[in-house]
Amino acid sequence: MAKRPPSSLLFSGSEWNFATLSRAYEAIEEIAIGEMGLDVYPNQIEIISSEQMLDAYSSIGMPLMYQHWSFGKRFVFESHFYRKGRRGLAYELVINSNPCITYLMEENTMPMQALVTAHAAFGHNHFFKNNYLFRQWTDAGAILGYMDFAKKYIARCEERHGIAAVEEILDSAHALMDQGVFHYRRPPRLSPAKVTERTRERLEYEEQTYSDLWRTLPTTAGSVGIEEAEKEAQERKKVLNLPEENLLYFLEKHSLILEPWQREILRIVRVIAQYFYPQGQTKVMNEGCATFVHYTIINRLFDQGRMSEGAMLELLASHANVVFQPGFDDPRFSGINPYALGFAMMQDIERICMTPTAEDKDWFPDIAGNGDGMGTLIDAWENHRDESFVLQYLSPALIRKFRLFHLSDLATNRFCEVASIHDERGYSAVRAALARNYDPSTHRPDIQVVDVDLLGDRQLRLRHRIRNGVLLDEAERDRTLAHIRRLWGYGVSLAGVDTATDRVLYECSSAQA
């Protein structure tokens, strides 16, 4: 056991001040970068009060956000639960930006501030900077500038066109946020406000001058053959680049009735949706990474004799709370806790690398016993999302530890069937099923624009590709269609087509209001 001269403690007691914060930061940084080899954006750490934390929560965690009633609703909701004690506040909030902004709450004790610094400013920060999804899809350097532009732009629209008009567009755009993301092609990079402004102006100019796409006047005075008209329509459709999965993008580019400022608002909502797209796919990994990092760092600090036993005890208690996973029949159960699963998997990977069992060697021949736990983890953090991460790294040992089992649930049956459990025959199946659950395409309805009736009533045709017979919530669906209709300006129809059989399961259209 290392000798612990009391003078080497980073802090004592629970009070914090900026001197202790920065002393702790430096010690943590030394371990995170020097020993663990993390690679992070520069950090900016901001101290806020609990009300401000609630504020930040309710604007989907962005430090800058335009005004909208739904954020007010979220605030009322969150503060209600907070005051009732039904939900604690997060100790921290971290923003994927460059510099990476971490919020610390003023109410936290000093040990907690150290934990949060390790968790957010190094764990999440490293993940944001290195994971391939974030690198590919988000532009950390530009997001704050863009949000600033968005906030000001929308405020300007409210001045010019009235709050109600702007709210109407935002409501509709928010309804399509989940369908406002490019899932497969890379979105255009966020550019600094000035460039954005210039493109927008050019767009406006183009709008005002010419749009051949929607020419409806007959080309010549004489009658044009139907064939020719149809051919023309086919060509236009090709220009429209159908089918299109990003509904917001399609409406922004091709809706006839939107004014330029309304298109810009759609674009803003779309950009924000796109920015958050990777976060939804990496919840387990992101939280697991941050939890693993803080756990490693605080233990290291303790071993170095730079943290007192009291502080360590406090941190272990909150760490245990964070990674607590109640069983499915526990009243506290609300799904698999991404912190618990992520952290356990990362510890497990380290174990497999360092002290593999025979089973591990069978399952993970590439990494078992390679002796480089940290390197293996850094590689995993960089190159996976939750789905592929679980599929690749969930070990039988962990399946047994969590006592995972796989239920298949057919809506028409009154029973769920246990498809497989944590036994020799079940490992792969459980792992595959869990991985599938983290694939966003299993919860996100797949809805695409497939056609526009250019010759007739300009009806927009959407197709919902139904997988496994999972339909849409009907009331929500109809209200959402009404929002699409508002943005499109003409009729909108939606057909649900079963992916397996190509049978049309339902058809509906927006009321012609």
Partner 1 sequence: MPNFIDRRLNPKDRSLGNRQRFLKRVHDELKRSIRDQVRSDKIADVDTAHGVPVPKRGADEPSFRNASNSGERHHVLPGNESFSAGDRIGKPDAGGGQGGGRGPGRGEGDDDFLFILSRDEVLDLFFEDLELPDMVKLNLKETVTYKPRRVGFTTAGTPSNINVGRTMRNSFGRRIALHRPSTKEYQAVADEIAALENEPTPSQPQRRRLTALREELEALERRRKRIAYVDPVDVRFNRFERQPLPNACAVMFCLMDVSASMGEREKDLAKRFFVLLHLFLKRRYERIDIVFIRHTDEAHEVDEETFFFSKQSGGTVVSTALEEMQRIILDRYPSNVWNIYAAQASDGDNATGDSERCAALLRDDLMKLCQYYAYVEIIDERESEIFGATDNGTSLWRAYRKVDGAVPNFQMTRIARPADIYPVFRKLFARHKAVQLSW
Pick one of 224, 239, 416, 511: the residue that binds partner 1 (CB under 8 A): 416
- Minimum CB separation of residue 373 from partner 1 in Å reads 24
Which range, of 216-224, 263-271, 371-379, 430-438, touches partner 1 by CB under 8 A? 430-438
Q: Is 161 in the site for partner 1 (CB under 8 A)?
A: no
Q: If we measure between CA atoms, which residue out of 51, 45, 5, 49 comes closest to residue 21?
A: 45
Are the beta carbons of 493 and 509 closer than 8 angstroms?
Answer: yes
Other CB atoms within 10 Å distance of the CB of residue 163: 14
Q: Is 335 in the site for partner 1 (CB under 8 A)?
A: yes
Return the exposure string of 279-297: e unless at least 16 CB atoms fall within 10 Å of the residue's CB, then b: bbbbbbbbbbbbbbbbbbb
Other CB atoms within 10 Å distance of the CB of residue 250: 27
Q: Is 39 in the site for partner 1 (CB under 8 A)?
A: no
- Minimum CB separation of residue 483 from partner 1 in Å reads 7
Q: Is 511 in the site for partner 1 (CB under 8 A)?
A: no
- Minimum CB separation of residue 459 from partner 1 in Å reads 18
Q: Is 60 in the site for partner 1 (CB under 8 A)?
A: yes
Q: What's the burial of 328, exposed, middle or buried (CB within 10 Å: 0-12/13-18/19+)? A: exposed
Q: If we measure between CA atoms, which residue out of 397, 266, 280, 281 comes closest to residue 344?
A: 397
Pick one of 313, 317, 410, 500: the residue that binds partner 1 (CB under 8 A): 410
Q: Is 45 in the site for partner 1 (CB under 8 A)?
A: yes
Query: In the complex with partner 1, which residue's Cβ is closer, 18 or 184?
Result: 18
Which range, of 130-138, 215-223, 309-317, 472-480, touches partner 1 by CB under 8 A? 472-480
Which pairs count as long-range contacts for 443-446, CB under 8 Å and 24+ apart, including other chains?
444/178, 445/470, 445/472, 446/245
Q: Is 503 in the site for partner 1 (CB under 8 A)?
A: no
Residues 195-254 that bind partner 1 (CB under 8 A): none
Q: Is 428 in the site for partner 1 (CB under 8 A)?
A: no
Q: Is 513 in the site for partner 1 (CB under 8 A)?
A: no
Which range, of 228-236, 315-323, 398-406, 451-459, touches partner 1 by CB under 8 A? 398-406
Q: Is 124 in the site for partner 1 (CB under 8 A)?
A: no
Does residue 368 sit in helix, strand or coil? Answer: coil
Query: What tokens appear for 346 in the block?
Result: 């990362």
Residues 263-292 that bind partner 1 (CB under 8 A): 280, 283
- Minimum CB separation of residue 269 from partner 1 in Å reads 12
- Minimum CB separation of residue 175 from partner 1 in Å reads 5
Q: Is 369 in the site for partner 1 (CB under 8 A)?
A: no
Q: Is 68 in the site for partner 1 (CB under 8 A)?
A: yes
Which range, of 146-154, 186-194, 303-311, 418-426, touches partner 1 by CB under 8 A? 418-426
- Minimum CB separation of residue 225 from partner 1 in Å reads 40
Q: Is 34 in the site for partner 1 (CB under 8 A)?
A: no
- Minimum CB separation of residue 67 from partner 1 in Å reads 5
**In what helix (H) or strand (E) does residue 92 lie, and over which residues does it extend?**
strand 92-95
Pick one of 147, 434, 452, 492: the residue that binds partner 1 (CB under 8 A): 434
Phi, psi of 331 (to 5 degrees): -60, -20
Q: Is 500 in the site for partner 1 (CB under 8 A)?
A: no
Q: Is 445 in the site for partner 1 (CB under 8 A)?
A: yes
Return the exposure string of 423-440: e unless at least 16 CB atoms fall within 10 Å of the residue's CB, then b: eeebbeebbebbbeebbe
* Chain centroid to CA 27: 31
- Provide the mask over 287-326, with x wherever binding to partner 1 is found by CB under 8 A and - wherever it is not: --------------------------------------xx
Other CB atoms within 10 Å distance of the CB of residue 105: 19
Q: How far apart are CA 370 and CA 378, in angstroms?
A: 14
Q: If we measure between CA atoms, which residue out of 87, 121, 88 comes closest to residue 104?
A: 121
Q: Is 10 in the site for partner 1 (CB under 8 A)?
A: no
Q: Is 193 in the site for partner 1 (CB under 8 A)?
A: no
Which range, of 198-206, 230-238, 301-309, 335-343, touches partner 1 by CB under 8 A? 335-343
**In what helix (H) or strand (E) does residue 44 lie, and over which residues does it extend?**
strand 43-48
Q: How far apart are CA 253 and CA 264, in angstroms?
A: 10
Are the beta carbons of 506 and 477 closer than 8 angstroms?
Answer: no
Rounded to the nearest 10 degrees, how much is the dihedral formed by the CA atoms of 449, 451, 452, 456?
-150
Which range, of 127-135, 359-367, 377-385, 435-443, touches partner 1 by CB under 8 A? 435-443
Q: What's the burial of 189, exposed, middle or buried (CB within 10 Å: 0-12/13-18/19+)? A: exposed
Q: How far apart are CA 56 and CA 78, in angstroms?
A: 11
Q: Is 51 in the site for partner 1 (CB under 8 A)?
A: yes
- Minimum CB separation of residue 135 from partner 1 in Å reads 21
Which range, of 144-152, 203-211, 232-240, 461-469, touches partner 1 by CB under 8 A? 461-469
